């Protein structure tokens, strides 16, 4: 049976890069998780075991460390663009270098003292090509909850349906949101801060008849606020909260008027959607290796 090599890429996953800026007595932390991948003509490596065109993954790791100092980390997007361009220059057989960066937040408690902040993680996926580059920015593990102004009713019902309609329910999710830029000439940090503020404001201010409706509203608001964005994509697990039934309890007068819930971690509904600007340029393969959008 005949066969051929299909799509392939290789790189170094999850290099933990911590850059401390010591230029003044007030230090800064850039705490990163960096993954790199090269795509191109690596047929010889796969078919013949010939590594002549392969830039070792160890070299990719070392470059990630070196560029944290040589280029700096003014923003994770800027750092990823520079790192991707360097890897592409170092590997002639590659046609694209993809760099994924997660940034973990720390809160300052002194000039050189910090405490690690839990919760949402800032992300970027940058694909640097020989002619064009694509920048995706985003956030993951953004845990959100509305304790009212959410309903879910009017859905299909068949012989296996047990879910009751809800006029007033908790709406909660741990959001992954990723948005695609149409230009690399922007203030990455200001854009991220504004995007996060838009997502939070819209989630809090939208009456929801379904998580789908809320995501659409959030995506539309983000595109309206930032004309330099082509699209936004969401992966949103529905973090179910079920009202506890006090009926079997032997306590007179004990009622549960939407006050006590059990938080269920699985199974859960998973809602994924994209909101796209009408005149958005195509994404190509920029979304490859982005969690939730494989």
- The catalytic residue positions are 12, 57, 240
* pLDDT tens profile 210-225: 999 999 999 999 999 9
Provide CATH code, domain 1-131.
3.10.270.10
* pLDDT tens profile 122-140: 999 999 999 999 999 999 9
pLDDT at 165 over 90: yes
* pLDDT tens profile 229-271: 999 999 999 999 999 999 999 999 999 999 999 999 899 999 9
Same fold, 1-131 and 139-294: yes
Q: pLDDT category, 294, cuts 50, 70, 90?
A: very low
Cα gap 19→255, rounded to integer Å:
54
pLDDT at 38 over 60: yes
pLDDT at 286 over 90: no
Cis peptide before 183 (omega within 30 of 0): no
Give me the percent of the chain exceeding a pLDDT of 70: 98
Distances (CA, A) of 247 to 81, 169, 224, 231, 250: 59, 19, 48, 48, 8
In the predicted model, what is the mean pLDDT of residues 25-33? Answer: 98
Question: What is the assigned CATH class of domain 139-294?
Answer: alpha beta
Q: Where are the domains of the chain?
A: 1-131, 139-294
pLDDT at 39 over 70: yes
* Cα-based torsion angle of the residue sequence 168, 169, 170, 172 in order, rounded to the nearest 10 degrees: -110
The pTM assigned to this predicted structure is 0.93
Cα gap 273→234, rounded to integer Å:
5
């Amino acid at each position: 049976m005949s066969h051929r090599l299909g799509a392939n890429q290789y790189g170094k996953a999850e290099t933990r890069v911590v850059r401390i800026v010591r230029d003044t007595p007030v230090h800064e932390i850039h705490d990163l998780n960096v993954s790199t991948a090269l795509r191109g003509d690596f047929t010889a490596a796969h078919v013949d075991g010939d590594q002549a065109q392969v830039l070792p993954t160890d070299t990719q790791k070392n470059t990630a460390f070196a560029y944290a100092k040589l280029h700096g980390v003014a923003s994770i997007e800027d750092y990823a663009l520079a790192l991707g361009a360097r890897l592409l220059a170092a590997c002639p057989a590659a046609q694209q270098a993809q760099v994924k960066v997660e940034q973990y937040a720390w809160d300052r408690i002194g000039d050189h003292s910090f405490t690690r902040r839990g919760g949402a993680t800032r992300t970027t996926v940058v694909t640097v090509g020989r002619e064009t580059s694509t920048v995706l920015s985003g956030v993951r593990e953004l845990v959100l909850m509305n304790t009212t102004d959410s309903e879910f009713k009017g859905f299909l019902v068949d012989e296996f349906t047990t879910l009751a309609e809800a006029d007033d329910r908790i709406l909660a999710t741990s959001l992954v949101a990723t948005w695609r830029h149409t230009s690399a000439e922007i203030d990455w940090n200001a854009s991220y801060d504004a995007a996060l503020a838009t997502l939070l404001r819209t989630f809090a201010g939208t009456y929801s008849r379904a998580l789908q409706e809320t995501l659409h509203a959030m995506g539309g608001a983000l595109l309206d606020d930032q004309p330099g964005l082509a699209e936004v994509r969401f992966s949103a697990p529905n973090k179910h909260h079920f009202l506890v039934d006090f009926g079997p309890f032997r306590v007179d007068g004990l009622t549960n008027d939407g006050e006590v819930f059990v938080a269920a971690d699985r199974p859960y509904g998973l809602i994924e959607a994209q909101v796209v600007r009408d005149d958005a340029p195509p994404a190509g393969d920029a979304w490859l290796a982005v969690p939730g959008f494989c």
